[in-house]
Amino acid sequence: MEQIRKSLRDSKSARWGALAVVSFMMLCGYYINYVISPLKPMLEEYMGWNSADFGTWNSAYGWFNVFFLMLIFGGLILDKMGVRFTGIGASLTMIVGTVIQYIAIDQMIPMEGEIFGIKTQILIGSIGFAIFGVGVEVAGITVSKVIVKWFKGKELALAMGLEMATARMGTAIALAVPLPMAKALGVGGMPNISAPMMLGLALLVAGFVSFIWYTFMDRKLEKSEGIKDELSEEEEFKVSDIFFIMKNKGFWLIALLCVLFYSGVFPFLYYATDLMINKYGVGEDFAGAIPSLLPLGTIILTPFFGNLYDRKGKGATIMLIGSIMLLIVHIFFAIPILDSYIFAIILILFLGITFSLVPSAMWPSVPKIIPERQLGTAYALIFWVQNWGLMGMPFLIGIVLEKYCIISRDVVDGVTKTTYDYTLPMMIFAVTGLLAIIVALLLKAEDKKKGYGLEMPNIEK
């Protein structure tokens, strides 16, 4: 009891301060995640991209994570080496990936021709985004374990909700700022498309510095709990534990729910600005502001639902309700006659509620299914499954738009303007909601059978 009383995490200011620092790092990463999303019309008009190019670039996020198993290795490193080493490595990886993306967007080196049938600019930028994807995903699982480390037995879901809300401020900025910023910093009518990427690079450097600061807080926490070396705490993990995790049905249901739900939200955000322009007739300067309302809504609602889960429970039920709402939103987005931008705003806000519900219950539920010493690898495996969707869905939507959804493609004053019909892509997104409902029902049944406690509160009384 004496050791528990002396733990630094029992200090509210210390644990919430630690949360603020790591959350800021994730905000910086999430900005880069979506920085080119609102720029899609500009990339097509001024750089000769098409929807397939755009889809290829965004699908690259998962290339290394999925095919080279970098996320799995990241989870193993996290459980073997600890949060400090892994977090610093993840931050530097994000910076390297973003530098490569900036070189491609700014065309700092010759970008003519193709490599392996892919435009040189697209391939180089995609490799940069793939490297960044490794960094930001490993950073994500590291921060998840950091939060469990500081908030176990306390306001765990609220803390995770606040971290997600802060990170999504980065998403909101990325959706609202780049297009008007590129126009404002342009010269002679030519927008400065690389400027928003440079802003992201500066943010990532700031995020790296913030995590360096966190490492000192982490050492103080371990010293207060009598832990001499972070590695000694982690050394019990065995590679064979991966098989233990993968034999857990509850783990797989959480992972499937994760990939289905996020495939219906994150890839949608890549195309949301273009959707606003093509279906709802919103002007380019304002189009990104509407999707940016989605993450802004989560800033309030994710912590609210997380706090509700902490105190009242009902985690499996919350995930089921969110999945139903995801299906409803995308069905309404797919209906052609509902083309008023006011209706689009309402749907985005509704999707924001959905985006708050499921993650607020999903991530805090993992420690109820998987032992803490295996959490890094468990989160990594879940993120690996998720990356199949984050890789495949943007590519699929880009191909579908290019092959089946072009209404017109006109050249005006040397600038190509393409108009798309987004009905079919939104129907594809709706399928993810339907499948998520099925998985959520199976998870609810499994929780009742195995007694994971997903419907129980997180705060220990």
Residue-range domains of the chain with CATH? 11-450 (1.20.1250.20)
The pLDDT tens digits of the residues spanning 190-233 come to 899 999 999 999 999 999 999 999 999 999 988 887 775 555 44
Mean per-residue pLDDT, 73-100: 93
Structure tokens at 112: 């003519």
The pLDDT tens digits of the residues spanning 230-260 come to 554 444 556 677 888 889 999 999 999 999 9
Q: What is the pLDDT of residue 461?
A: 58
Question: For 298, what's the count of Cα atoms within 13 Å in the CB-facing half-sphere?
Answer: 29
Q: What is the DSSP string of 356-418?
A: HHHHHHHHHHHHHHS-GGGHHHHHHHHHHHHHHHHHHHHHHHHHHHHHH-EEEEEEETTEEEE
Question: Pairing state of beta strands 406-412 and 114-115?
Answer: unpaired
pLDDT at 323 over 90: yes
The pLDDT tens digits of the residues spanning 29-52 come to 999 999 999 999 999 999 999 999
Highest mean pLDDT among 66-80, 105-119, 192-206: 192-206
Q: Are 368 and 164 in contact (CB under 8 A)?
A: no
Token look-up 């972070």 returns 230
Dist. CA 172–CA 121, nearest whole Å: 26
Angle between helices 289-312 and 156-176 (to 10 degrees): 180
Q: Are 92 and 180 in contact (CB under 8 A)?
A: no
Dist. CA 251–CA 322, nearest whole Å: 19
Structure tokens at 394: 């943007």
Helix (H) or strand (E) holding 419: strand 415-420
As a residue count, the chain comes to: 461
Dist. CA 420–CA 407, nearest whole Å: 5
Higher pLDDT, 245 or 54: 54
Q: What is the pLDDT of residue 238?
A: 63
Q: What is the pLDDT of residue 225?
A: 79
Average pLDDT, the chain: 90
Max CA distance (Å), the chain: 75
CA distances from 201 to 56, 90, 101, 197, 295 (A): 22, 14, 10, 6, 21
Mean per-residue pLDDT, 276-288: 92
Question: For 433, what's the count of Cα atoms within 13 Å in the CB-facing half-sphere?
Answer: 23
CA distances from 86 to 123, 142, 430 (A): 27, 7, 36
Q: What is the pLDDT of residue 234?
A: 47
Q: What is the pLDDT of residue 302?
A: 80
Mean per-residue pLDDT, 73-91: 91
Please report, as a single letter, which amino acid is at residue 226.
Answer: G
Q: Are 164 and 100 in contact (CB under 8 A)?
A: no
Please report, as a single letter, which amino acid is at residue 440.
Answer: A
Q: For 54-63, 223-232, 348-357, 363-372, which range has the lowest pLDDT when averaged over its residues?
A: 223-232
Rounded (to 5) percent helix, strand, coil in the chain: 80, 5, 15
Mean per-residue pLDDT, 270-285: 94
pLDDT band at 426 (very low <50, low <70, confident <90, very high): very high
Dist. CA 318–CA 274, nearest whole Å: 31
Share of the chain above pLDDT 70, in %: 95
Mean per-residue pLDDT, 331-347: 96
Mean per-residue pLDDT, 122-130: 97
User: For the range 122-128, what are the long-range contacts, defined as Cβ-Cβ under 8 Å and sequence gap of 24 or more?
Assistant: 122/49, 122/53, 122/56, 122/57, 124/100, 125/57, 125/60, 125/100, 125/101, 126/56, 126/57, 126/59, 126/60, 126/63, 127/60, 127/100, 128/97, 128/98, 128/99, 128/100, 128/101, 128/102, 128/103, 128/104
pLDDT band at 1 (very low <50, low <70, confident <90, very high): very low
pTM for the complete prediction?
0.88
What secondary structure letter does DSSP report for 8?
Answer: G
Dist. CA 100–CA 96, nearest whole Å: 7
Dist. CA 92–CA 137, nearest whole Å: 13
Q: Are 140 and 383 in contact (CB under 8 A)?
A: yes
pLDDT at 184 over 90: yes
pLDDT band at 297 (very low <50, low <70, confident <90, very high): confident
pLDDT at 116 over 90: no
